[in-house]
Amino acid sequence: MLKGKIASEGHAVGKALCLEKETLSAEKESCENPKTCIKDFHDALDRSEKDLRSLRSKTAETLDEDHAEIFDAHLEMLRDVEIKGQVENMIENDSVQAAYAYEKVTNQYIDMFQEMEDEYFRARAADIADIQQRVLGYLLGKPVKDLSLLEDETIVVARDLTPSDTAGLDLNKVKGFVTEIGGRTSHTAIIARALGIPAVVGAKDALQNVKDGQTLYLDATTGEIHIDPNENLLQGAKKKATKEEKRKAALKKFADKPTKTKDDRSLPLFANLGSLKELVALKENGAEGVGLFRTEFLFMDTDSMPSRDEQVEAYRKVFETIQPVIVRTLDIGGDKELPYLTQDKEENPFLGHRAIRLTLEQKDLFKTQLQALLIAAKNQDDVRIMFPMVATTEELKAAKRVLAESADSLEDEGVDYQKNIKVGIMIEIPSAALNANELAKQCDFFSIGTNDLIQYTFAADRMNEKVAYLYRPYDPVLLRLIKTVIEGAHKEGIEVGVCGEIAGDLNAALLLAGMGIDELSMSPASVLEIRSALSEVTSNDLESLAKKALANAEIDEVEKLLEAFRKEHL
């Protein structure tokens, strides 16, 4: 049995799929029978083509035809007659294995495209590299594992999962996640909670102890991972899963109700949205809006920069589904990279060139996104644009200038757009929290991003399991910092919400409600439980709880206070 930290609660049983990432490369080995080696090469191409066609079909089904067309380009490259001919000639003339020949030939094309000045052609280098790894996988007996092409109910086991790893998930087959690193705010944890998938992170040496195809029972209520469990354990898992389903079904009665306390105070519960796939869960769980629309998915699910028209189409799908929507502009950097955007390697990427710092420099990229948002929102009543990782008033002013320039460009083009857009910022850096009073004078709203605010307040990398103990959502130091933001916002007459992961934690949600927060945004799966809890308490109950918590000096005392409050009221 393995043990880790609970990232998304629940129970899951499935076959293990171990994702061990490595860049494949072939040794130079001789080929005694060129005809056989060429046949191996053709077989690898055929199998790769089958994969790409399946991926295309799945993408067209789950997203749209435009996104599916990416794989048309990959199929053309896969069957490129020049590359194919050069590989066959090298096998015959140099008597080398197909894998070595294919890698050498495709590397030449990758280098050639990377050196081109045109951004479109430079992006094609990444396409060829992706295809190369797929073909090499078959030639070397290490085929690429696609999370969108699963046959069995699966529990994914990995060192970590990046946004691009999870972009193509087959949600009907993936039942759970296990990662060796990460904490409650890692990408794996966030996506698991958004999708309602059980997950355990920080399970050391999971890849060494688990083999592909083994049956796993993932108990994400205790953090335990059972390998090849016996029948008693499996039966127990099924009973627990059934009980959980009944509990969730009982909460469905709150899906169509507004969020109100026992004494009728409104506190809207919004949902965080990371992809178009999550729109269904958002609606099913009765979210009253989108408090954090993470636009990165649109940029990370493609091999080239999405055009303005492509962005408009994607944003419009969200805006036409639900209102209000708070859109975070592109937040790249830290643990999120774009393959077609050259970024220098940094010693401390979470403290480096990311989010608003990057987009203010990449002004064309920034303007294209802002124009797309303004166009997509032209017929909508309540779309709000939010800038991430603002540290100073100067950064906020600079971002607002780019927004104004973007609107002026649309005016010059004669393109219709939304002229009455609300503008806000994420408060996720202590300097911004402490300067909330001044920043509020230049904003229409705040949204507190607690994932990074906790990381920067306690100087603890939220991806490092060794310092996960410093993820302290109930720490009085953090609570007082949040209270400073709320007071600064309300003094200037603007609303303030929380879109970090603690908004979906019931204990933290109760505290935040008592501190005077105006809205909470969370994973869709958390909405109904928190709405149910709030309906059982009064505003006075919550305010009294928050006042006592803020007066404490120790986190242990706050946790005891929360435990006693829930026993008495819930």
Average pLDDT, the chain: 88
98 and 198 inside one domain: no
Are 418 and 380 in contact, with CB atoms under 8 Å apart?
yes
Phi and psi for 346 in degrees, rounded to 5?
Answer: -120, 150
pLDDT in tens, 66-116: 656 777 878 888 989 999 999 999 999 999 999 999 999 999 998 988 888
The yes-or-no verdict on residue 150 having pLDDT over 80 is no
446 and 299 inside one domain: yes
Asked whether residue 26 is assigned to any structural domain, the reply reads: no
Handedness of CA 184, 188, 192, 195 (dihedral sign): positive
At 335 the pLDDT is 61
Are 463 and 182 in contact, with CB atoms under 8 Å apart?
yes
List the catalytic residue out of 18, 31, 37, 499.
499
pLDDT in tens, 379-435: 998 999 999 999 999 999 999 999 999 999 999 999 999 999 999 999 999 999 999
At 123 the pLDDT is 65
The yes-or-no verdict on residue 545 having pLDDT over 80 is yes
Looking at residue 329, what DSSP letter applies?
P
The yes-or-no verdict on residue 523 having pLDDT over 60 is yes
Looking at residue 342, what DSSP letter applies?
-
Cα–Cα distance, 145 to 323 (Å, whole number): 38
Domain stops at, among 230, 247, 264: 247
- Mark out the alpha helices in 95-222 (DSSP H runs): 98-114, 119-139, 163-166, 187-195, 206-209
Q: Count of domains in the chain?
A: 3
204 and 341 inside one domain: no
Asked about 18 being catalytic, the answer comes back as no
pLDDT in tens, 329-345: 999 876 667 766 766 77
Cα–Cα distance, 530 to 286 (Å, whole number): 11
Are 520 and 272 in contact, with CB atoms under 8 Å apart?
no
Asked whether residue 28 is assigned to any structural domain, the reply reads: no
Give percent helix, percent strand, percent coil of the chain, each to the nearest 5: 50, 15, 35
Q: What number is the average pLDDT over the span 219-231?
A: 93
Q: What number is the average pLDDT over the span 153-167?
A: 77
Closest-CA residue to 452 (of 425, 435, 438, 471): 471
Q: How far is CA 107 from CA 49, 51, 100, 209, 453, in A?
A: 20, 22, 11, 35, 42
Cα–Cα distance, 148 to 129 (Å, whole number): 20
Higher pLDDT, 122 or 527: 527
Q: What percent of the chain has pLDDT over 70?
A: 92
List the catalytic residue out of 31, 37, 187, 443.
187
Q: In what order do the strands lie in the sheet with 154-158?
A: 2-3, 224-227, 215-219, 11-19, 154-158, 174-179, 199-201, 5-8
Are 533 and 510 in contact, with CB atoms under 8 Å apart?
yes
Domain stops at, among 228, 247, 266: 247
The yes-or-no verdict on residue 520 having pLDDT over 80 is yes
Higher pLDDT, 68 or 128: 128
At 65 the pLDDT is 66
Asked about 499 being catalytic, the answer comes back as yes
85 and 169 inside one domain: no
Domain stops at, among 108, 139, 170: 139
Phi and psi for 292 in degrees, rounded to 5?
Answer: -155, 105
Higher pLDDT, 544 or 197: 544
User: Where in the sequence is the domain holding 74, given as residue range(s)?
Assistant: 34-139
Asked whether residue 29 is assigned to any structural domain, the reply reads: no
Asked whether residue 221 is assigned to any structural domain, the reply reads: yes
**DSSP string for residues in 64-127:** -HHHHHHHHHHHHHHT-HHHHHHHHHHHHHH-B-HHHHHHHHHHHHHHHHHT-SSHHHHHHHHH
pLDDT band at 190 (very low <50, low <70, confident <90, very high): confident
At 163 the pLDDT is 56
CATH code of residue 263: 3.20.20.60
Q: What number is the average pLDDT over the span 211-223?
A: 92
The yes-or-no verdict on residue 62 having pLDDT over 60 is no
Give residue for tokens 């998930």: 169
Lowest mean pLDDT among 47-61, 290-304, 444-458, 522-536: 47-61
